[in-house]
Amino acid sequence: MRFSRVVQQHSPLSGRGFKAVRLWHEDYGGLADPFLLVDHFRMSDAVFPAHPHAGFSPLTYVFPDSPNSMRHADTLGNRLLIHPGSLHWTLAGRGLQHKEDPEVLGSPVHGLQIWLNLPSARKFDEPQIFHRESKEIEERDGVRWIADPLAAQQTPQPFGMVDVHRRAGESFSFSLPREWQTLAYVYGDGALAIEKNGDQRIAPGGSSFAFAGTDAITFRAQSETRFVLLAGLPQRESIVVEGPFVMNTHDQIADAIRRYRAGEFGKLI
């Protein structure tokens, strides 16, 4: 089993009506693949105008405690609300535009924005969306099973995600396919202990780490703790990130920019 270092999140992103801390894939020694970034955000204003994406899947998860919903619109014609506890998945593929704003301006939306890479064979797929309402997500014993990595695939890509609440001394055991990699983020206060084959890590609140090479692992809360686990199948491909585009080569990035400027991603007002 391989662990990354424990990364303490710092240098929060901040602006009018928006605050976030960012988890960036390069901090985990390759063990966060296929996840590119995770933003833990609170947004209370219409901060981001309509913008393009291509070559990856942006996911929005609104925490159940969020005081507000997120309003989503895209150039596929979708208009919907992402309610507290819900997951919205945009498989951008060859390209589209979208925007997501708080339903009620001035009231914060609390959530995660997750960038999940697409493998090279799917970077030019037709864009699509996948939406899972809170009521469709199984919740038991303080765990929200947003996507079970051992269940039959019900998401556009191989993906696992759980949102866990544990009190002091309580544990949680997570099982996944051995070849997958997992990114763990302690998003509230508290502290999490992880032990496997005599190797123990302590992750305090606001920290994250990644691991690979196991099909089961147990976490134990040292105090009341909330954390999320994101699991996926690593791609081990070269990536080039240019703003909202994620491709395998610089030529593909240039082509995505050309297609966007030519209007091929549609228009969203």
Lowest mean pLDDT among 10-19, 58-67, 108-117: 10-19
Does 253 score more than 90 pLDDT? yes
Query: What pLDDT does 200 receive?
Result: 77
Query: What pLDDT does 111 receive?
Result: 98
Query: Rounded distance, CA 54 to CA 91, Å?
Result: 8
For the chain, percent of residues with pLDDT exceeding 90: 89
Query: What pLDDT does 153 receive?
Result: 75
Q: What is the mean pLDDT of the chain?
A: 94
Does 151 score more than 90 pLDDT? no
Give me the residue label for tokens 């309509």.
50
Does 196 score more than 90 pLDDT? no
Does 195 score more than 90 pLDDT? no
For the chain, percent of residues with pLDDT exceeding 70: 98
Beta bridge partners of 57: 116
Does 59 score more than 80 pLDDT? yes
Query: What pLDDT does 61 receive?
Result: 98
What is the model's pTM?
0.95
Nearest to 118 by CA among 101, 97, 138, 93: 93
